[in-house]
Amino acid sequence: MSALAQSQAAIFGMVIGLSSIVLQFISTSYSSRMVDFFSRDAYPLWGLFCLSIFYDLILMILLPETLEINSYILVFLSLFIAIYAYYELVNFVYTNINSGFDPLHLIALLRNDNLGMFDFIVGSLNKCDLTSYRLGLYEYYRKELLQEDITQNELKNIISDILRLGNFSVVTKNDEAVSLVFDKIYHLFSDLKDKDLMRGCFSDNLEKISAFTEYCARNRLEEDTICGINTLFNISSEVPSHFLKSTIMAKVLNSLSNIGRISSDMKLETSTTEAINAIDLIISEFLDPLASDLSISDNEIRFSDDEIRFIIEKLWIIGSASVDNRLDSSIKKILSLLDKIAYTYILNQDENIALFAIDVIDKIGCSCYQSGLNLCLEKVLESYDNLEEIIHFSGFQSSLSQKILDIKVKYE
């Protein structure tokens, strides 16, 4: 009996102590709220082991040295209690190991507490546990979106919370975690895009999404910056065709322009080019119908002259930074887009916007000439040749032809 009691006490101390400490350490690194879970589950087992050991000690004192037949019943009862205690011990360790390492189980314990959920998600990110991070983000998003009557303030808070998690992801330089944040943002818009009230609120939060993408660019996370660019573009492209589409597109164009400028400043050529490509695709929805003899008033996508001028100015800023950092592909893409804008407005006999675009092409051309970027300079001259042809073809008599001739002379 003495050996049985000692073995139970030793195993009880080692297994229960070590398993509880290790598993609590793992789980409390995700959230301090997990301590109570382990403590409550351990109490019945601790009580059972204490009862078994205490019963063994009583038998050691009360039983005579020579056992009678009735005494064997008490001994067998002691063995039965010990075996049952060991069985519960194995079950306890198995259950705690499963729950301690199963993200879904931990999430379920925290689902009714957003602060606890964030503890878990951020903790999993700090531990490079991407599986738990993904599941936590999914559960938080699903829990919030299941609300039947979600308000604008609640939507604003959801966007802020998701972007706050994104900021943590950027700090840890975890590209995949950041891409998951952009994925949730896009799905958030997709799930709410059929609700006009929610679309308007989402439009008001585009600046936050843009600022987060700019934050990625400033931290030289080029892949994440491209994810942000694609998210903004996809949002703008899926807006139903009515007045809100132009409003959101104008905001997205401004955001993409800022992202392109920062990317060019950080010498991120791929993300700079991607931003310009996205701008090109959005602008083309406005320009292509104009190039097909559709009047501006008939176009479902409408940008004012001031908005087009603003975009041209942004392209000049991005182009200037691209020249300074010798980002050839970005420069060529900007020149192509400016060429398209000038081309379209020449066809529509709008000299002011066309002239403004031509002036910006000239400024970029001068910068390319001074920097010795001959391939980009060739693109500038090619643009002017194309514009000369369209002016002649359209029969649009203006000062543009002479302007282009004067510019070309400078580079000969």
pTM over 0.75: no
Distance CA 52, CA 47 (A): 9
pLDDT of residue 84: 84
pLDDT of residue 296: 47
Q: Which helix (H) or strand (E) holds 367?
A: helix 351-371
Q: Supply the range of the domain harboring residue 78.
A: 2-101
Distance CA 185, CA 180 (A): 9
Q: Could you state, in chain order, the average pLDDT of each consecutive group of 10 residues for the chain (412 residues)?
A: 63 62 54 48 73 79 64 78 80 66 56 62 78 81 66 77 86 87 84 64 78 92 93 80 68 90 93 93 76 50 78 92 92 91 82 88 89 88 82 67 73 64
| 355 within some domain | yes
**Among candidate residues 77, 101, 125, the one where a domain is terminated:** 101
| 257 within some domain | no
pLDDT of residue 407: 76
User: Which ranges of 151-304 would DSSP assign to H, the alpha helix?
Assistant: 152-171, 175-192, 196-204, 206-218, 222-237, 243-265, 269-291
Q: Are 239 and 287 in contact (CB under 8 A)?
A: no
| 106 within some domain | no
Eight-class DSSP state of 302? -
| 246 within some domain | no
**Among candidate residues 67, 101, 135, the one where a domain is terminated:** 101
| 219 within some domain | no
What's the structural domain count of the chain? 2
pLDDT of residue 119: 72
Eight-class DSSP state of 292? T
pLDDT of residue 192: 72
pLDDT of residue 331: 93
pLDDT of residue 223: 92
* 45: its two tokens: 């087992």
pLDDT of residue 36: 45
Eight-class DSSP state of 111? T
What distances in angstroms separate CA 397 from CA 56, 132, 343, 385, one per listed residue? 110, 66, 14, 17
| 57 within some domain | yes
| 251 within some domain | no
* 131: its two tokens: 């599986």
3-state helix, strand, coil in the chain (%, to 5): 85, 0, 15
Q: Are 343 and 386 in contact (CB under 8 A)?
A: yes
| 334 within some domain | yes
**Among candidate residues 63, 85, 101, the one where a domain is terminated:** 101
